[in-house]
Structure formats: C-alpha cells, structure tokens
Chain A
Amino acid sequence: AQSVTQLDSQVPVFEEAPVELRCNYSSSVSVYLFWYVQYPNQGLQLLLKYLSGSTLVKGINGFEAEFNKSQTSFHLRKPSVHISDTAEYFCAVSSGSGNTGKLIFGQGTTLQVKP
C-alpha cells in the first residue's frame, strides 16, 4: 500500500528566508508525486508534479521539489519566501499505476511566514 508522510506539521519561517517542507512516501510501484497548496478558506491548487524525467521539478510561485528515489522523498523548497506563501501544503502520491484520478495525501504542513 502507498503512504505519504509529511515530517513537519508546522514550519515557521521569516520572510525572505529559504524553506524546505519535507515529504517521504512509500510505494512498491512507480509513483507520481504532487505538491498542492491550500490558502485559507480555499480549495487546493497544484504547485508542481513529478511524473517522470528530470528529478528536479519546478512549479508555480518559485517553488521546486526534488524526487529522490533512493531516499523515497519529494521535498519542497523555495529560496526566499513571502508573506503570501503562508498556507497549508500537501504532498500527495498517485494511487496505483498510471492515472487513476485518486491521490493519497500526507497530513499537511502549515507554513507560517513571519515579517
């Protein structure tokens, strides 16, 4: 069975500092990996995805993530955060092989950017 673990429930960081949100997954098959962001009182938006190819994936709003198969990790990074990045971030893995339209989500990490 597939699972996703987000290692930090909350990450406080000062504005313009770098940030890393950690995500580990377990799967016995090839995986597709995703990061979604949820701003307060809104639905989820796709930040970036890894399907295949280059292990460094760039997304919207200056975020990037690196797929590390040996470490079974997909950590999200941004070199300089803004107040507007304050949100909850979810790592997710596609269930099963191929596109099934189903995702398994991690518990979420709340990024708190302080001025």
Chain B
Amino acid sequence: NAGVTQTPKFQVLKTGQSMTLQCAQDMNHEYMSWYRQDPGMGLRLIHYSVGAGITDQGEVPNGYNVSRSTTEDFPLRLLSAAPSQTSVYFCASSKAGANVLTFGAGSRLTVL
C-alpha cells in the first residue's frame, strides 16, 4: 500500500530550466493537490484537481502547470524555474467526502 508517491525527492535546477515533479496515488482518491512549504509560511496551495480532466488554481499558481489525465497521476510542471521556486513541494490526495488529506513525503527543489 504505497499511498502517495512523489519523485524525485531532491532536485537542483538552474534558473530557466524546466522540470516535472511526479505524483502518483494508489488509493483511488478523487481529489489531488500540490502545496509548497516555505519557512514561516506554512503550506500554500499551488494547484488542485477534483477528478481526471479537471484542474484549478490555488493560492500561488504562477510559474506552475498541472494536468490530470488519470485518477492516479497529478504531475506538477515548472516551465522556467526561478530561485523563488526553491521550496519543498508536497502532493496530497483525498477521497471525496472524507475530509482528510494523505500527503506524500515531499520533493525538495533548489533553483540556483
């Protein structure tokens, strides 16, 4: 029972590079979301999805893209990385009606 799996765990990018953070869940959860965690700021919602083919913006969506082609996967794309995107990223999922998020272990991204 893997839960929510995020890859990679660590990544270093140069400014302007692009990359994709992967997120997969095996619990058949309808809802998936991406948060970023920065010191003193808690977790802030980047994008979320309530089902395959449906995505929406959260609090801090600029510089990030998402898509949800399957129930299981919810990748987060950085189109042109900036130092301000240095952060720890968490993917989470929840079952509709359950009101509880299950989090992945996180992906630490450094942009130089």
* Chain A interface residues toward B at CB < 8 A: 4, 6, 9, 32, 34, 36, 42-46, 49, 51, 90, 92, 94-95, 99-108
Contacts and interface: CB of A to CB of B under 8 A. Distances in A.
B76 to A, nearest CB: 15
A101 B41 contact: no
Interface of B: 4, 30-33, 35, 40-45, 48, 50, 58, 90, 92-94, 96-101, 103-106
Contacts of B92: 44, 101
> Taking chain B's interface residues, is the majority helix, strand, or loop, or is none over half, making it mixed?
strand
A6 B42 CA distance: 10
Contacts of A4: 42
Given A43-B103, A46-B100, A101 B50 contact: yes
Given A43-B106, A105-B43, A105-B44, A99 B96 contact: yes
13 contacts: A4-B42, A44-B90, A46-B100, A49-B99, A51-B99, A90-B42, A99-B31, A101-B92, A101-B93, A102-B45, A102-B48, A105-B42, A106-B42
